[in-house]
Structures are given as C-alpha cells and as structure tokens.
Amino acid sequence: MASHPSTRTRRGPVTYLVRLLVIAYLFLLVAWPVYLVGKNTFADGMDNINGILEDPDIVHAISLTVQVAIIAVIINTLFGVGISLLLVRYDFPGKRLLSALLDMPLSVSPIVVGLALVLVYGGRNGWFGPGLESMGFQVIFATPGIVLATVFVALPLVIREVVPVLEEVGEEQEQAARSLGANAWQTFRRITLPSIKWGVVYGVVLSLARSLGEFGAVKVVSGNVLGETRTATLVVEEKYLNFDKGGAYATAFLLALVAVACIIIVSVIRPKEDR
Amino acid sequence: MSIEIVNVSKRFGDFVALDNVSVSIPSGQLTALLGPSGGGKSTLLRIIAGLETADSGRIEIEGVDATKLSPQKRNVGFVFQHYAAFKHLSVARNVAFGLEIRKRPKDEIRERVHELLNLVHLSQFADRLPSQLSGGQRQRMALARALAVQPTVLLLDEPFGALDAKVRKELRDWLRRLHDEVHVTTVFVTHDQEEALEVADEIVVINEGRVEQIGSPDELYDSPANDFVMRFLGPVTELGDRLVRPHDLQLLTGGGEPDAVPGRITRITRVGFEIRVVVAVGEQLVTVTLTRNEFLSLDLQVGSEVQVRVAPEVAATVGQPRLLGAV
Amino acid sequence: MTSTALSPDRPATSRRPVRSGRPLTRVSGLGLGVAMMWFSLLVLIPLAAVVVTASAGGWSTFWQAVTNEQTAAAIELTVGTAFAVTLVNIVMGTMIAWVLVRDRFFGKRALEILIDIPFALPTIVAGLVLLSLYGRNSPLGVDIANTRPAVFLAFLFVTLPFVVRTVQPVLAELERDVEEAAMSLGASRFTVFRRIILPSLTPAIAAGAALSFARGVSEYGSLVLLSGNLPMKTEVTSVRILSSIENDNLDSAAAVATILLVISFAVIVLLDVIQRRMVRRG
C-alpha cells in the first residue's frame, strides 16, 4: 500500500498552545542561559579568552583534559564495541545481569564514583593502592586516577549506541561472509564494522563530550593540583569561586563550545542512519 | 444507494491520487475497489471514512452529506491492512472500544462483545493480548471491533494483504459468508483480481486516479471496457491484432478452417490441470491454455504444426476489440 | 453462525526473533574474560568497596552515619527534589517529545539540539549557565542562587533529555492507523490520546522517569556554583558525601554513598523489568 504523505495534521488551538509552551520552556531553561554565558564571555571583547589562553596553568589544564578524554574515548570504544559484540552475538551465563550492570555508571553519582576509586586505589588505605604505589604506580591524585574516573562515567555510552545497531543489522550478512570463506577478523573488519560504523561514531562523539566535561569524579580523585592534575572543569569552579568571573566564563565557554559542536555533529550524522 | 461519491479529486503535492471520481455504491452489497498499487483506491476508501479529506467533490453516506463530517461522526467501520490492533488492550477490550466510547451500558457491551467474538471465532482468546494472536486472528479481531458499533458501512483496506496465501484464501471465503449473514454495506480495497472476482458483488476498477469500469464480476471478465481492464482481470494473449484470453483459443490439427491461422508449437508447459501451449504464428507467440483432456486428445508435441482460432462460442461475444476510454 | 472451519493459523510472523546468540568460542571467551576483568577492576570492585566499607562498621555505625541530622536533611532534599523534578519531566518531557514528533514548524531542528545540550554540557558549566539567568545579575530579575529552588532548577536542567529521548522514538514508531482505527470508532482526539497513545507510551515514560530520577539523585556538578551548598538548606547528598571525603571520614562517606547506590541499582532493575515488558507486548 502506498504510504500516504502526512496530510492529516489538523491543527487545533491545542497544537499551538503545546508548541508555544514547549518553546518557552526550552528557551527559559536552556537557550537563554547558554546564550548569556557566551555574551558574558565576550562582554569585554576577546580579553577573557586571551586571558585564559595566556595563563600557562589553564593551558596545561585544558591540554590535560583533552589528553585524558582521548585516552578514555579510545579505551571505551574498544571495550564498548567488544562487549557489544559479545552481548548481541553470543550467549553466556549472566548475560542479562552484565547487560544491566553496564548501565550502572549512568546512574551513579560522580562523587560516589570518585569515592569508590579512592577506596580501592587510594595510596594510603585503598585495597590495591598501597601495593601499586610500592611498585611506583600512583593512581589517585595522579593522571591514571583521572583517566579511570573519566572512563568509568562514560563507559556505557558506546555500548548503548552500538548494541541496538548490531541487533538491527542481524547476523545474516556475517553468516554469508563466513560461508564465503572469511575468517572471524575479516568478517568483523569488512562486514560488521562498516555496518555499525555510524553507531560507533555516534557513541564516540557522545563519550568525548562526556569525558571532556567530567567534573565530580575527577574532583575527588585528582587532588586538584594547580598545573598538574587540575582539569578544565576544575578551573571553571576555581576561577568562579576566586571571583575571576571572566576566566570562569571563558573556560566554560570553550567547554560549552565543544559540547555544542559534538551535539551538532551527532545531529548531522543521525539522519543518515534513521531515514 | 448507500454511498454516493460525486466528482471527488485528491492530490498529494504533484501526485494526482483521484481525478474527478464518481461512484455509487449500492446498499447491502459487497463492493471491491480493484486496481494496481498507487492507483488511488485506498485514498478513495480513506476519503469515505473521513481519514483523508477530498480536495473537491462530495461524499454522501445513506443520504447524509458526509463531506465535512469528522471520522468520529461517520459511523463507519474501518479495517486496516496491518490490523491496527490496540496492543495494550485485550481482544475483548479491543472489540468493546467503540461501544465504550459510545457509553453503552456495561451489560450490553459484554453481551455484544461475546456475540461478536463468537461470530469471528475468537471467544476462547477474549482475554489475550493482540500480540498473542496470529495475523489472521488479529484481522478477525479487527473486523469484530469494526462491526461492534453497527456501522452504516464497513470499509476494509487490503484486509488480507499482510496474510500468507492459505490464511488469505480462508478469510476471503469467510468474509463472503459473514457478509451474507450481516448484510452490512461493505467496501474493500484489493489489488488481487482473483480476490475481487471471487468475493465481490460488484467491482469498481480504479487506475491512475480514474474509474475504468464498474460492474459485476461476470460483466468485467466477459466484457471489459478496455484493454486495461481486460489485462488486469486475467491472463491475455494476442492473436493478430486481437486481445483474447488464452482459454478462449482453440487448437486444431486437421485441415484449415476459414477463421484459423497456421502456426507451430514452440513450448508446452503443464501447470496442474492446465496445459499452456505456446504457438508461433509467424512472428507472433500466442499462448493457448487447454485442459488436460483436450491436450491428450490432440496429441501435441513441440514442433507440431497446428491451426489456431478463437473458439466459435465466444468469438461473437467476448474479447472484441473495443474503443478505449469507454467509461 | 458461519460454520467455516478456520484452521488454527500459525503464530504471527511479525514478532521480533528471540535473541539468543551462539555459545562462546575460544577467542570470544578470552575476549569476555578480558572485558570482565577490566569491568571488575574499574566498576564492580570499586562499587563493592563502597558497600563493604559501609558495612564494615556494622549496622549501628551505618545507621548513625545516614541518620545524622545534616545527612538526613540532605537525603530528604535530594530525593524530594528529584521526585518533584521527575514529575515535571513526565509532563514536559512527554509534551516536548510530542512536539518533536508530531508538530512541524520552522526551527524544530534547533529544539532537537537544545534538548541534548544538558546532556553534553559539563555539569559545572551547566551550573554557571543557569547562574547567568537565575543568579545575582539575572536579566529577568530572578535571583534564586543559594536557595532550594536553585536545586530544583539545576535538577530540571540536567534531567531534561531523559523522558524526551525515551518517549520520542516510541512515539515516532506508533502506527498512525491505530489512532485512525480509534477515531473511526468514534473516539475524540483527546480520547485517542488518553486511551490509545498514552498507554502505549507509559513504559517509555516510566523508563525515562526512572533515569531522570536517578540522575537527579546523583547530581553534583551543576549545584556547586548554583546552590551554595548550605547545610540543612541546599546541601544535597553528593555534596554531603564529598565533605565526608574531604574530612577523611571515608566510612561515613561510604555509608551515605551506599544509599545512593541502592537507589541507582533499584532504577537499573526497574528499567530491566520495563524493557522486558515492552518487548513482550511487541
């Protein structure tokens, strides 16, 4: 049957009322406040932006944030794609429990994440921390701790994007490739990966945004040492509390810019797989 | 006349779905809207139901002008190709829906639902969810749901289109019997000519937004208004410049009759009780279908020389080339 | 009565194939082992450490920690506000999803982007963002910094996407002919919404609400600059845990954290149950 182009959009007053309400709500809750941050940042021209870019400690914080985020995204992508394949294509005891537990990081408070990592990897009283430290490997109050915290909070994002795509694609193409003589790796690289590509990209972009912006968990595990373990989000807090609002707005603006860029990239990618 | 469609036109953007269509659908009958996909028949059905509004023209249902009436007020029953089951409601609640909307007393609803579920043979599934039913059962539920409100007309949009061949045939048969019992004016859309010929009292052939012909199955099959209707309703072959049905052709092995033309058999295919013989007549390949007995008595082989003609019984009445655009 | 014998048809074929998968091979088994090891070291063991530390001191120590006047006030504020925010999200989120799926107007794409901003924006930045409109120099003249409404506002901001994003795809997938069937049976537009659309959306709304509640309860970053973290007044549970950590009182921090973990876990279980119900209804 021919699908009918949507013609039945009869618009009553309710339609317009709901539309107006939704637009007003989003304007007051999101659009206007976000706009104001941009406006405050450039209230004195480029001074605020130049100010933070000339401060070596802030530049260090930003570069630390970017490095940590890249490492975290790589780890989460490898782990995420692997575990998604296992969850969708294989059967093993405890699969349902694992699948549920993988969502835990989304609903755990970042402060609890930090606490949990300190309890295990803390140098003084942690379960494994003292042992690792005696081998010369410091986790908490050092970069590895920041990486762990960041990986933790962004863990489910790739999985949540890839699993539905894998289910949608189904196994037939892979079986066809196998029957044509492809081995497991060839099948993955030439058939599976191209078909889940956009899901992976989407997950990566979301993970990147989440990783760059993590605050609470990093605050607990990093020690927040200026010029060493202070990340960009910690700079925002520090600057604001020290009455350097210009610096806080400028750093926040940069972070917000990256976040919004990520969303726009995603919204450009998404229609390709949806429609 | 139960449904009167007068000069209805409908466009979707540049696409003309219906072009000035007028049809009268008689009361109490089972009418098929038949035509190829995208020809406008579903659009016409949805306009009758009020699910789509015509750009111009008028719709009357039982003498009431329904052109501007909302679907809620038309009192039509509509059955969709993909069942449109209310997934969160049990089978019984699905059937009861229209009656609940009309605020009928609880006892009456219960009784009527019971009656209808019996009618569609789903009594034992009353408390199941639609997802626990097969496709055929879901469609019977949808039919009971549409009938529950005692609609003025029952409209079915490709009702058996999503079902597999066997269930389809059964439901078709069953719909015919059901209609003989309840006698509600029924219009159903189909692209399957066999379905229309078998079930309908009257067939409206629609193509490219226009009505090609209206008539009983016999009229349409035996005296098609034009080549399109002839081709759409059954198999055809060409003999000379004449369009004929393969089963209206005769093969002769003896001497030349005046109206027969000579040819040579190039292919013989047997499909069950029917034998298809392809005869090369000059450049033209003519298909002739024979019964098994005819075939055996003629002792035909590939390469045999034969004479082909239109059977004299039908030559005078059926398959005459006609003027095109007769409607 | 018709006497046609209808043969029992086969079950509907439109059902999604049951997902089973094949047994593990040697390579995939090894992969699963490595993945589980990493997941344990990163997530399971640390979270277990929280619960173990909390229970190490026994029930009375645990109870003392969580019933401490200031802690109890923080938990009450957090849970209460998260609950209220979730109610707002159920209504507004469903409405927003409705507009995104069913309405058409210029600039709808921009709304899509606005919905995702709270998800992608660093929480500390979210706090600063809200402060610029609802803080001291508010162009609206609304200064709610360091008050309870600020906590409500921050939760509202960070939980915005959840109900919208869970309801939206379900709403988009709803078959229009189901609504048309209800209309031709005489149901008004409101009745169609209440009796046909809403019940189909309920599981998705519930899932979104659960996520939104969990996110609210665990929120920290957006409150740092906005709420002032005033004890007994605007201090939420996460802040309370952090101050225990900073005072080197890890036992008490772990006790309160366990409460949050229980809530998170309950939400996860709830989501799993809802998802299973959605699949069953098919």
Residue C156: per-residue pLDDT: 95
Q: What is the ipTM of this complex?
A: 0.87
Cβ–Cβ contact C235 with A under 8 A:
no
Q: Is residue A275 over pLDDT 60?
A: no
Q: Is residue A38 over pLDDT 70?
A: yes
Where would I find the H helices in A170-244?
172-179, 184-187, 193-213, 216-222, 232-241
Q: Where in chain B is the domain with CATH 2.40.50.100?
A: 237-315
Burial A191-218 (b: 16+ CB within 10 A, else e): bbeeebebbbbbbbbbbbbbbbbbbbbb
Q: Which B positions 68-107 lie with beta carbon below 8 A of chain A?
A: 81
In a domain, A3, yes or no: no
Cβ–Cβ contact B78 with C under 8 A:
yes
**Residue C215: CB partners within 8 Å, gap ≥ 6?**
A106, A107, C158, C159, C162
In a domain, A269, yes or no: yes
Q: Is residue A7 over pLDDT 50?
A: no
Q: Which of A98, A106, A237 sits opposite C224 (nearest CB)?
A: A237
* pLDDT tier at B1, thresholds 50, 70, 90: low
Query: Across the interface, do A184 and C113 touch by the CB < 8 Å criterion?
Result: no
- Among chain B residues, CA nearest to A2: B38
Distances (CA, A) of C259 to C44, C65, C135, C215, C221: 17, 11, 31, 14, 19
Residue A55: per-residue pLDDT: 87
Q: Is residue A243 over pLDDT 80?
A: yes
At which residue do the structure tokens 């080549």 appear? B227
Query: Which among B238, B302, B235 is positioned nearest to B274, based on CA atoms?
Result: B235
**Mean pLDDT, rounded, for A220-247:** 85
Rounded to the nearest 5°, which phi and psi values hold at B140?
-65, -40
Query: Across the interface, do A259 and C272 touch by the CB < 8 Å criterion?
Result: no
Residue A273: per-residue pLDDT: 43
- Among chain B residues, CA nearest to A8: B52
User: C42-281 has which CATH code?
Assistant: 1.10.3720.10
Query: Across the interface, do B52 and A5 touch by the CB < 8 Å criterion?
Result: no
Rounded to the nearest 5°, which phi and psi values hold at B20?
55, 60
Model-level pTM? 0.81
At which residue do the structure tokens 């009983």 appear? B216
Query: Across the interface, do C12 and B134 touch by the CB < 8 Å criterion?
Result: yes
Shortest Cα–Cα distance, C128 to chain B (Å):
44
Most A CBs within 10 A among B10, B12, B163, hence the mutation to make, goes to B12
How many interface pairs between A and B have CB atoms less than 8 angstroms apart? Answer: 21
Q: What is the per-residue DSSP string for C24-74?
A: P-HHHHHHHHHHHHHHIIIIIHHHHHHHHHHHHTHHHHHHHHHHSHHHHHH
Query: What fold characterizes domain B3-228?
Result: Rossmann fold (3.40.50)
Query: Across the interface, do A90 and C113 touch by the CB < 8 Å criterion?
Result: no
- Among chain A residues, CA nearest to B81: A1
Distance CA(B179)–CA(C271), nearest Å, equals 47
User: B237-315 has which CATH code?
Assistant: 2.40.50.100
Total domains, chain A: 1
Query: Across the interface, do C120 and A25 touch by the CB < 8 Å criterion?
Result: no
Query: Across the interface, do C181 and B80 touch by the CB < 8 Å criterion?
Result: yes
Contacts of C15 in chain B (CB under 8 A): 131
The CATH number linked to A131 is: 1.10.3720.10
Q: Is residue A213 over pLDDT 60?
A: yes
Q: Where in chain B is the domain with CATH 3.40.50.300?
A: 3-228
Burial B1-24 (b: 16+ CB within 10 A, else e): ebbbbbebebeeeeebbbeebebe
Q: Are C185 and C192 in contact (CB under 8 A)?
A: no
Shortest Cα–Cα distance, A71 to chain C (Å):
15
Cβ–Cβ contact C84 with B under 8 A:
no
Distance CA(B43)–CA(B27), nearest Å, equals 21
Q: Which C positions 5-44 lie with beta carbon below 8 A of chain A?
A: 19-24, 27-28, 31-32, 35-36, 38-39, 42-44
- Among chain C residues, CA nearest to A266: C113
Per mean pLDDT, which of A224-233, B142-151, C80-89, C128-137 is the most reliable? C80-89
Q: Is C103 strand, coil or helix?
A: coil
Cβ–Cβ contact B261 with C under 8 A:
no
Lowest mean pLDDT among A45-49, A192-196, B178-182: A45-49
Residue C157: per-residue pLDDT: 95
Query: Across the interface, do C31 and A26 touch by the CB < 8 Å criterion?
Result: no
* pLDDT tier at B108, thresholds 50, 70, 90: very high
Q: Is B10 strand, coil or helix?
A: strand
Residue A151: per-residue pLDDT: 96
Pairing label, strands B64-65, B76-79: unpaired
Query: Across the interface, do B87 and C15 touch by the CB < 8 Å criterion?
Result: no
Written as tens digits, the pLDDT of chain C (282 aa) is: 333 333 333 333 333 333 557 788 888 889 999 999 999 999 999 999 999 998 887 888 888 888 888 999 999 999 999 999 999 999 999 999 999 998 888 888 889 889 989 988 999 999 999 998 998 888 888 888 889 999 999 999 999 999 999 999 899 888 888 999 999 898 888 899 899 999 889 889 998 999 999 999 999 999 988 888 888 889 999 999 999 998 888 888 999 999 999 988 888 888 888 877 776 665
E-state strands within chain B: 3-12, 15-25, 30-34, 56-61, 64-65, 76-79, 153-157, 185-190, 202-207, 210-215, 237-239, 242-244, 249-252, 261-271, 274-281, 284-291, 305-310
Shortest Cα–Cα distance, A6 to chain B (Å):
9
Q: Which C positions 55-84 lie with beta carbon below 8 A of chain A?
A: none
Distances (CA, A) of B280 to B277, B304, B305, B306, B307: 10, 11, 10, 10, 11
Q: Is B2 strand, coil or helix?
A: coil
Packing angle between helix C108-120 and helix A245-274, nearest 10 degrees?
120
Domain that holds residue A149: 17-274
Cβ–Cβ contact B167 with A under 8 A:
no
Q: Residue B302 corresponds to which tokens in the numbers above?
A: 């590939």
Per-residue pLDDT tens over the stretch A130-155: 888 888 888 888 899 999 999 999 99
